[in-house]
Amino acid sequence: MLNSRAQGTFTRRWYAVFSLVSLAGRTPALRRPATRLPYAALHRRALAPLVRAGHLEPGVLDGYVDWMATPEGRRWLLHYFGDYRTPPRPELRRHLRDLTCPTAVVWGRADPYLSPAIATELAGTVPGAELTLLDDAGHWVMDERPDAVTAALGRLLERPTSNG
């Protein structure tokens, strides 16, 4: 599991942001004004550190965000967020102890969106899970630390399974 919301939720700031966008997406009176927000520019700004660090090519970033600059893209984004729910998922939390497959939890300690406490809980609850916390990575661990993520996944694949 790589910086996944899983059973938890976002940090307080991002919980508020995603909850508000979700509310706007499902509330007719808010949806129309919300289609005027600069989603592409906001995403571009949020991903700029990855571009500056050389982890994300500018052309790839364009593909990620340019569709949000169109009226249809903004409507689609709000439609998506209209069904997006941000609260913690207790129904998932209850079943973490039932997981039997080998599990690796790889997380960036500097993730501004999802607290490393989610990773610690996952690794402490899923039987036999291996936790890898990366000090110099944020939310985009695969982009920021590909070698460390690959090593963690390699260890996962080398682990024996209960079937053999």
> Phi/psi of residue 115, each to 5°?
-65, 140
Phi/psi zone of residue 107: left (φ > 0), alpha (ψ -120 to 50 degrees), beta?
beta
pLDDT band per the 50, 70, 90 thresholds, residue 142: very high
Q: Quick: pLDDT tens for 9-19.
A: 999 999 999 99
Q: Looking at residues 55-80, what average pLDDT do you find?
A: 96
Per-residue pLDDT at 105: 97
The model's pTM: 0.85
What's the token pair of residue 124? 């402490």
Residue 35 near residue 78, CB atoms below 8 Å:
yes
Q: Quick: pLDDT tens for 17-64.
A: 999 999 999 999 999 999 999 999 999 999 999 999 999 999 999 999
Residues in the chain: 164
Question: In angstroms, what CA-CA distances link 66 with 11, 40, 97, 151?
Answer: 26, 6, 41, 33
